[in-house]
Amino acid sequence: MQLTRYTDYALRVLVYLGSAESGTTASAAEIAKFYGISRHHLSKVVSMLSEQELVIAARGRGGGIRLSVDPKDLCIGDLIRQTENLSIVECFNAETNTCPIASDCTLENLLQDATKAFLAVLDKMTLADLLPASQALLQIRLAR
Amino acid sequence: MQLTRYTDYALRVLVYLGSAESGTTASAAEIAKFYGISRHHLSKVVSMLSEQELVIAARGRGGGIRLSVDPKDLCIGDLIRQTENLSIVECFNAETNTCPIASDCTLENLLQDATKAFLAVLDKMTLADLLPASQALLQIRLAR
DNA sequence: AATCGGTGTAGCGCGTGAGTTGCATAATCT
DNA sequence: AGATTATGCAACTCACGCGCTACACCGATT
């Protein structure tokens, strides 16, 4: 049971952007280099975040990416609801279900409750809470 | 974020076996037919459950599969810990990590806590709790 | 010993997630 | 207008999860 790599990178992009001074931009190439993946791949993630209006991406010289919301207003649970498919088994979705007992299944209810518990923990935090307290990220960024 | 199909089928096999009278066996072919997959594929799942000593599989005429534990002693949280890789992002595992800020990351801690909350809900239930209350499974089984 | 009814497992093919490549398009600076 | 610095995205490749086929092996019955 894993979060998709897209969700993982989405979180990383947001943490990276949130660690900067408010309003500053970073380029996709810079962030990609920091996390060791290609710019093109990271751009796909940025496009998704842009569609969800979590970041603003500006093309062209002097362009780049910045947060479009205040870190303290960005609920991590909401982000994950947007980026992840949370049907953790196929019977959560009537269209994909093949299980013959899905219509009366305690297991499905249990897994729904477990998923809710997972998200409830995430709902308590915002991006602001995730920004490095020890300035580790800033130190790493400044070292490059 | 999905449970693997193996975990899903493992749960289904256990629910199927648990719905029978105590101690009765079912064949892999029978269970596979019930869930609409090939016997060979279901056998891989059964082999995993057998290795984990949750079921006993007997070869040969009159063989088959039966639960090796009492449904009320089979904790769903423990099962999922055994069948799933719960490193929901790569940084949970130092060997696979590529994230440069993993050593000091609030996000990792948050996702660990969310995973624990997910499992805490599952830990409250046993296989006994999952067996169909309305006898839907038994009705379906008897109809075949 | 042969047959029947069972499980065990290696190897294979397909679909999809993940990451790359190449090029298009855009915006600012000179 | 051209150069530079930026994002956007289609098409591609690869790895792996998933499910299948084929055959091996097993144990009871005849």
**Integer Cα distance of A12 and B100 in angstroms:** 10
CA nearest A66: which of A131, A34, A19, A32?
A19
pLDDT of residue A106: 85
Chain B residues with CB inside 8 Å of A98's CB? Answer: 35-36
Closest amino acid to nucleotide D29 (CA–C1'): B61
Looking at this predicted complex, what is its ipTM? 0.87
B94-109 burial string, b = 16+ CB within 10 Å, else e?
A: eeeeebbbbeebbbbe
Q: Does B98 touch chain A (CB under 8 A)?
A: yes
Tell me which of 1.10.8.60, 3.30.530.20, 1.10.10.10, 3.40.50.150 is the CATH number of domain A1-70+130-144: 1.10.10.10
**Cβ of A63 near strand D (distance < 7 A):** yes
More confident residue, A59 or A140: A59
A-chain CB neighbours of B31 within 8 Å are: none
pLDDT in tens, B64-85: 999 999 999 999 999 999 999 8
Q: Rounded mean pLDDT of chain A?
A: 87
Q: Which of A107, A108, A112 to mutate to test the interface with B (most CBs of B within 10 A)?
A: A107
CA atoms within 13 A on the CB side of A93: 9
What DSSP string describes A31-89? Answer: HHHHHTS-HHHHHHHHHHHHHTTSEEEE-STT-EEEESS-GGG-BHHHHHHHHS----S
A135-143 LR contacts (CB < 8 Å, sep 24+): A136/B101, A136/B103, A136/B104, A137/A15, A137/A16, A137/A19, A137/B101, A138/A19, A140/A34, A140/B100, A140/B101, A141/A19, A141/A20, A141/A34
- Mean pLDDT over the full length of chain B: 87
Which residues in chain B have their CB less than 8 angstroms from residue A85's CB?
1-2
Q: What is the pLDDT of residue B140?
A: 62
Q: How confident is the model over A8-59, as pLDDT tens digits? A: 999 999 999 998 776 688 999 999 998 888 999 999 999 999 999 999 999 9
A86-110 b/e (C-beta count within 10 Å ≥ 16 → b): ebbbbbbeeeeeebbbbeebbbbeb
Tokens of A122: 């995430």
Mutate to test the interface with A, among B121, B126, B134, B141 (most CBs of A within 10 A): B121
- CB of A110 within 8 A of CB of B131? no
Cβ of B41 near strand D (distance < 7 A): yes
- Give, as ranges, the nucleotides of chain D with any atom within 7 Å of a protein CB: 3-10, 17-23, 25-29
Reported pTM: 0.89
Put simply, whether B58 touches A (Cβ < 8 Å) is no
For residue A41, the model assigns a pLDDT of: 92
- Looking at this protein, which amino acid is placed at residue A61? R
